[in-house]
Chains A and B, each alone.
Chain A
Amino acid sequence: MYYVVSIAVIVTMGLALVRALLGPTLYDRVLAVNMFGTKTVLLTAVIAFLYDRPDFLDLALAYALINFTGVLAVLEFFRNRASRQPAGGEG
């Protein structure tokens, strides 16, 4: 029963990776990485129950908290980058 969900989440992770590789602007890639992170949390929660080891949920909880820090760091970087380069920028 958990297999269907795992397949859906893993395929979505592949799609997010394609967006991270393609995305013309930098913000597309940040969006893709954030999405990849939350899908990782979902996948680890599902697989913890697939393996019938509920004590593996700590991994999902830890990454749900740390993902937020990573995204905010990226945005802080952009905010100061925009003030350093007056031309702004895409990439």
Chain B
Amino acid sequence: MFMTEIFSAFLLTLLVVTALAAVKTRNLFVSVMLTGIYSLLIAINFFLLDAADVALTEAAVGAGVATVFFLGALALTAEKERTPSAYRPVAIGIFIAVTLVLGYATLGMPSYGDPDAPVHVHVAPFYLEKTPEFIDIPNIVTAVLGSYRGYDTLGEVFVVFTAGIGVMFILGVRPSRKPGGTAMIASGENGLRHYLIPRVVGRLFIPFILLFGLYVQFHGEYSPGGGFQAGAIIASSIILYALLEGEERALRLIPRRVLNGLTAGGALLYGAVGVAGMLAGGNFLDYSVLASDPVKGQQMGLLIIEAGVGITVTGVLLTIFHAFAARERFG
């Protein structure tokens, strides 16, 4: 349809404007807000290109959780960027050269929607034809993610896990707490009477967000969804609770030991499914041997690894949130 391409072109223009403004401004808070808008614009563009799984992940992580993290970091540091040093001709020269080379490289790619492109001739028809025979789930993206490219997803889960560990190393696991309250999240007693309405409505929403997160997790085989999106949604419900009730109560709700268990346990679950495949006689991450019927084995394997992905993503996002929110401002 021609109209959706006009929409995409308009939204991409807005994207360029937003990105330029986010880089130019000196006030970091404005930058964070514009980055949120940038994530939303990219998510809509993915949606217009029919990539709903990616759009859901981008909206949930980029526009929801990442904004909270950036604000947590801003609360610990300054809000205005330092004025930059002198004009840098070498950097600008390198930037222009790389842009021109990349632009030239895209001329060699097949045009958008070309039916003779290699990806449409070799790989995509294989997935589309063989999935009903081997795996038999409607959402082929999840089949590709979990089963055909299961190694890549195992790597992704471990990358998320490593990010969580990295943040824990840098920001410390148990910082010293002063009685005055933390930098970003207050303990909830100050000025609460001015904030009664958000508190009531927010607490009303938390069970629904959790329920929706579970729906997205387990419905990932039938509609856009899956472990990454569900992890982000569930983490954002706990973050909402922490924002409304105070960070100490959120830590009492899900203590740090449980968070560490979640972070490591999800990745371990994924690896365990792979090893179980080996013990049952197949290769590593071969799900067909997990049950008597290979198709049922594939579906069971997909369910368990998606659960593992969701658990790790929830644990890591909450760990990063608590690492930022629990830290006292320096000086």
Interface residues of A (CB under 8 A from B): 3, 6, 10, 13-14, 17, 20-21, 26, 29-30, 32-33, 36-37, 40, 43-44, 47, 50-51, 53, 55-56, 58-59, 61-63, 65-70, 72-77, 79-81, 83-84, 91
Query: What's the nearest-Cβ distance from chain B to residue A82, in Å?
Result: 9
Contacts of B55 in A (CB 8 A): 44, 59
Q: Could you tell me which B residues sit within 8 Å of A by CB distance?
A: 3-4, 7, 10-11, 14, 17-18, 21, 27, 29-30, 33-34, 36-37, 40, 43-44, 47-48, 50, 52, 55-56, 59-60, 63-65, 67-68, 71, 74-75, 79, 181, 183-186, 190-191, 195, 198, 202, 205, 208-209, 212, 216, 219, 222-225, 229, 233, 236-237, 239-240, 243-244, 329
Task: Report chain B residues within 8 Å CB of A62.
Answer: 56, 59-60, 212, 216, 229, 233
Pairs of residues from A and B, 9 with the lowest C-beta to C-beta distance, nearest first = A66-B64, A55-B223, A73-B68, A77-B71, A69-B240, A63-B59, A70-B67, A59-B56, A29-B33
Q: Decide: A51 near B50, CB < 8 A? Known: A40-B43, A73-B243.
A: yes
Complex alpha-carbon distance, A67 and B233, angstroms: 11
Q: Would you call B37 and A58 a contact (CB within 8 A)?
A: no
Please tell me which one of the listed residues A20, A30, A58 contacts residue B223 in the complex, with CB atoms under 8 A apart.
Answer: A58
The distance from the CB of A6 to the nearest CB of chain B, in whole angstroms, is 7
25 interchain pairs, CB-CB under 8 A: A17-B17, A17-B18, A32-B33, A36-B40, A40-B59, A43-B44, A44-B44, A55-B222, A58-B225, A59-B55, A59-B56, A63-B59, A65-B209, A67-B63, A68-B240, A69-B68, A69-B236, A69-B237, A69-B243, A72-B243, A77-B75, A80-B183, A81-B75, A83-B186, A84-B329
How far, in whole Å, are A79 and B243 apart by their CA atoms in the complex?
11
Q: Is the pair B75, A80 in contact by a Cβ cutoff of 8 Å?
A: yes
Residues of A within 8 Å of B36, CB to CB, are 33, 70
Residues of B within 8 A of A69 (CB): 64, 68, 236-237, 239-240, 243
In the complex the two chains form, what is the Cα distance from A55 to B237 in whole Å?
23
Report chain B residues within 8 Å CB of A72: 198, 202, 240, 243-244
- Select from chain B the residue with minimum beta-carbon distance to A55: B223
B56 closest partner in A (C-beta) = A59
Q: In the assembly, what is the distance between CA of A69 and CA of B283, in Å? A: 43
Q: Is the CB of B185 within 8 A of A67?
A: no
**A66 touching B75, Cβ below 8 Å:** no
Find chain B residues with CB under 8 A from A30 CB.
Answer: 33
Task: Check if A33 sits within 8 Å of B33, measured CB to CB.
Answer: yes
Which one, A14, A59, A70, A83, contacts B10 given CB within 8 A? A14
List, in ascending order, chain A residues with CB within 8 A of B239's CB. 69, 73
